[in-house]
Homo-oligomer: A and B are copies of this chain.
Amino acid sequence: MPVGTRGTVKAVSPEELRALGAHVILSNTYHLSVRPGSALIREAGGLHKFMGWDRVILTDSGGFQVFSLAKLRRLTEVGVTFQNHVDGGRCELTPENVMEIQRDLGSDIAMVLDECPPYGCTQEYAAVSMALTHRWAERTKNWLEKNSSYRPPLVFAIAQGSVFPELRKQSAEFLAGLDFDGYAIGGVSVGESEQEMMSAVESCCPNFPINKPRYAMGLGTPEQIVELIARGVDLFDCVLPTRVARNGTAFIPGGTLNIKNAEHAKSLIPIQEGCTCPACRTFTRAYIRHLVKCDEILGIRLISLHNLNFYLDLVRRARAAILNGTFASFRSSQSF
């Protein structure tokens, strides 16, 4: 899922995303609630219409952002109150109101509110936090049952448990029992090692229902994505394709290249030979480097398109390999 935190995938248009074959984008309840506000988006006919995207939208609940961005945070059983990072306005998120907000946004897939414990917390802290996340998930289920005629179409739960395998397992099992539409692994990509991240995923996945989609939140590099698919993950969101593009970095088979490097100054080949993205179809490395060196917006845009295509193509090929029964050879043939 390309990441459109604030209702736009950075530097690219909805039309371009459709042409790349993106089917789902991620947006964010916290960010949109702060600015421009969910009431406006509801009045505009929902986020799809507001941002001109007619395919699927998954919205994160904002839990992660409250714990990473907001100030003067106060966590209670009821929910979390905080000052937002934009104008310091006071907000409250509860398991119930994040469902209401995501319903107002018109999300196709809403995420439950969770508490995301910081990396490095004790197992005791992680266990207490996980229990709260579980109670919030139960309240979410209650809200969904009471509001069955007016709720987000699909709602995914989020397993927590930090880097502790036993907690991760418990969290996945507990949430599986609540019968959500899909299951996410949260609290990853928060500073832990790759090994700890993989371990968290490995502790969750086998304990999620086999017939429900699994989503690893905020991950990862191309290499990690292939390895996570191998562990049973179906869905990903990652800011890397657009974030690194703004620094001139493009994904290519075998790694990355930074277009600002002098070696590309006279290079008349595309970013990636054979790539069919809008950047590689028409433009050379030398041209895109010229744009980036001159701070021209089109440079960021072209690299963003290339990187998004790289990720989308990677998961498309992984999916095809699974369907063909050739995933093992696909996985081992990837060179990053």
Q: Is A291 an interface residue (CB 8 A)?
A: yes
Q: Is A296 an interface residue (CB 8 A)?
A: yes
Q: Is A315 an interface residue (CB 8 A)?
A: no
Given contacts A35-B293, A291-B8, A296-B8, contact A286 B13 (CB under 8 A): no
Instruction: Return the CB mask of A272-285 against B: 1 if under 8 Å, else 0.
Output: 00000010001110
CA distance A111 to B331 in the complex (A): 57
Q: Is A95 an interface residue (CB 8 A)?
A: no
Interface size class of A (residues with CB under 8 A): 35 or more
Are A297 and B40 within 8 A (Cβ)?
A: no
Q: Is A301 an interface residue (CB 8 A)?
A: yes
CA distance A284 to B268 in the complex (A): 40
Q: Is A63 an interface residue (CB 8 A)?
A: no
Q: CB-nearest residue of chain B relative to A297?
A: B11
CA distance A296 to B265 in the complex (A): 28
Are B286 and A44 within 8 A (Cβ)?
A: yes
Q: Is A43 an interface residue (CB 8 A)?
A: yes
Are A50 and B287 within 8 A (Cβ)?
A: yes
User: Which residues from chain B contact A132 at a C-beta distance below 8 Å?
Assistant: none
Are B8 and A286 within 8 A (Cβ)?
A: no
Given contacts A36-B290, A40-B266, A43-B268, contact A13 B50 (CB under 8 A): no
CB distance from A27 to the nearest CB of B (A): 12
User: Which residues from chain B contact A35 at a C-beta distance below 8 Å?
Assistant: 290, 293-294
Q: Is A51 an interface residue (CB 8 A)?
A: yes
A287 contact from B7, B282, B301, Cβ within 8 A: B7
Q: Is A10 an interface residue (CB 8 A)?
A: yes
Q: Is A300 an interface residue (CB 8 A)?
A: yes
Instruction: Return the CB mask of A294-305 against B: 1 if under 8 Å, else 0.
Output: 101110110000
CB within 8 Å of B: which residues of A? Answer: 6-8, 10-15, 35-36, 40, 43-44, 50-52, 265-266, 268, 278, 282-284, 286-287, 289-291, 293-294, 296-298, 300-301
Sample of 10 more A-B contacts, CB < 8 Å, known A6-B291, A36-B265, A36-B293: A6-B296, A7-B287, A8-B291, A8-B298, A10-B296, A13-B298, A35-B294, A50-B287, A51-B287, A52-B282
